[in-house]
Amino acid sequence: MKQCTALAVAAPQVVAHRVSRMALAGPVLSNRDRREFQRMFTEKSSAFVESWMAMWMEWARTSWTMAAGAFTGGPWTAARWAENMSAASVAVAARGLAPVHRRATANSKRLGALKG
């Protein structure tokens, strides 16, 4: 939950900064704007790939854990399966948000420190 809250604060700040830079840049970009916009594209692509892989790895880990638990931990009730699936969904989402959260909060700090 803390991760979602921090992301909900950081993302709009980053978007506002970058959109205003785009609006002010005009048709000819300065070197600073060109670097920032290239960075934005690269970061988004990297964050997407990292998120996707982290979610996939967490889901695979959870699937193996649940499969092994079915054979080693005794019979699982429907309630236990539901509880485990709920926890797994939260873990997958958290793993997927982590790379986005890292970049958005770092960008919020970095862009907030820039002048002009």
Tens digit of each residue's pLDDT, the chain (116 residues) = 788 898 899 999 999 988 998 899 888 889 999 999 999 999 999 999 999 999 999 999 998 888 887 777 666 778 888 888 899 999 999 999 999 999 999 999 988 876 55
Asked if 37 and 22 count as a contact pair (C-beta separation under 8 A), the reply is yes
Asked if 15 and 114 count as a contact pair (C-beta separation under 8 A), the reply is no
Angle between helices 2-25 and 31-72 (to 10 degrees): 160
pTM of the model: 0.76
